[in-house]
């Protein structure tokens, strides 16, 4: 069905309660390649059995970590075929370090819907509160739905983050595994675009692609390890726009610029002439 702008814009997304454990956190970090330096004490902080440190990007999977069904893009006034959808952008702002285990409640709403003519961009915001009643994090994200535009909405602004006019302070290569998407999907994102070759081809890709949120987490971990002494508590926020696809087994080139209060980052694919995969990436320091 087409997007019903009147009922969809501002619609509440049903809240849910969820919980996570140190094993879930370990599992998530392993899906991002943590433990490759298996004798490094700082690296092993991601994998401690009782109190692993938690990358803020864990927030993107925590509410749905134990789900085994493909996600649905179905809200009030919105019902979109999953094969038409790719992730547009993601931002996480943590209000305190995410604990290694806990219980929380999330509530959300649709905040913007842009009509790009041939596609629609749907924005949502989710607020997560711990069992103690205090806020844990806020997540903002958008999806890009091919063929769902033309419903009469605003086109939306166009903006980009300007990079410093100098060479990056860091230039880091991060390989991914051929099975990276199959590992990451065990964190609750069972979209067949990342595991089923036939589904991926029907969606216009030659092979299954890596989850955008896996790339998002990989780049956050790279920046945390490279610049922040592998201390995830120094990350206040992390945002990115998904600019291209990454196939499992390819290598991410992460370029990082230090500024006063944050890190500006780009991520590209080495094997395809540094084709962009993440743009407008900003890590805000706590």
pLDDT for the residue numbered 170:
98
How confident is the model at residue 266, as a pLDDT?
98
SS3 214: helix
pLDDT at 1: 55
What digits encode the pLDDT tens for the residues 181-229?
999 999 999 999 999 999 999 989 999 999 999 999 999 999 999 999 9
pLDDT of residue 2: 66
Q: Give pLDDT < 50 ranges for the chain.
A: none
Q: What is the pLDDT of residue 57?
A: 98
Closest CA to 285 of 93, 54, 34, 53: 93
Active site residues: 189, 194
Enumerate long-range contacts of 186-191, CB under 8 Å, 24 or more apart.
186/27, 186/31, 187/27, 187/28, 187/31, 187/61, 187/65, 188/61, 188/64, 188/65, 188/66, 188/67, 189/61, 189/64, 189/71, 189/213, 190/67, 190/68, 190/69, 190/70, 190/71, 191/70, 191/71, 191/82
Distance between CA 25 and CA 58 in Å, rounded? 7
Q: What is the pLDDT of residue 230?
A: 95
Beta-bridge mates of residue 137:
94, 128
284 three-state secondary structure: strand
CATH number for the region 5-285 comes to 3.10.129.10
Distance from C-alpha of 98 to C-alpha of 57, rounded to nearest angstrom: 10
The rounded distance, in Å, linking the Cα atoms of 235 and 224 is: 8
Closest to 108 in 3D by CA, of 126, 129, 93: 126
């Amino acid at each position: 069905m087409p997007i019903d702008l009147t009922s969809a814009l501002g619609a509440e997304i049903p809240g849910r309660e969820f919980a996570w454990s140190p094993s879930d956190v370990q599992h998530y970090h392993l899906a991002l390649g943590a433990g490759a330096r298996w004798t490094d004490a700082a690296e092993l902080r991601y994998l401690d059995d009782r109190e692993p440190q938690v990358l803020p990007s864990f927030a993107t999977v925590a509410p749905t970590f134990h789900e085994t069904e493909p996600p649905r893009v179905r809200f009030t006034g919105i019902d979109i075929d999953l094969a038409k959808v790719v992730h547009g952008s993601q931002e996480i702002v943590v209000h305190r370090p995410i604990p290694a285990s806990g219980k929380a409640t999330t509530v959300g709403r649709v905040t913007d819907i842009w009509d790009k003519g041939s596609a629609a961009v749907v924005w949502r915001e989710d607020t997560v509160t711990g069992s103690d009643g205090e806020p844990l994090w806020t997540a903002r994200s958008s999806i890009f739905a091919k063929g769902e535009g033309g419903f009469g909405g605003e086109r939306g602004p166009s903006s980009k983050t300007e990079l410093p006019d100098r060479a990056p302070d860091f230039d880091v290569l991060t390989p991914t595994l051929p099975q990276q998407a199959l590992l990451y999907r065990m964190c609750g994102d069972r979209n067949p675009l990342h595991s089923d070759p036939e589904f991926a081809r029907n969606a216009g890709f030659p092979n299954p692609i890596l989850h955008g949120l896996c790339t998002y987490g990989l780049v956050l971990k790279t920046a945390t390890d490279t610049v922040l002494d592998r201390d995830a508590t120094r990350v206040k926020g992390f945002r990115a726009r998904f600019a291209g696809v990454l196939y499992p087994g390819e290598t991410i080139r992460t370029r990082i610029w230090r500024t006063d209060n944050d890190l500006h980052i780009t991520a590209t694919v080495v094997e395809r002439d540094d084709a962009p995969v993440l743009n407008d990436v900003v890590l805000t320091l706590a």
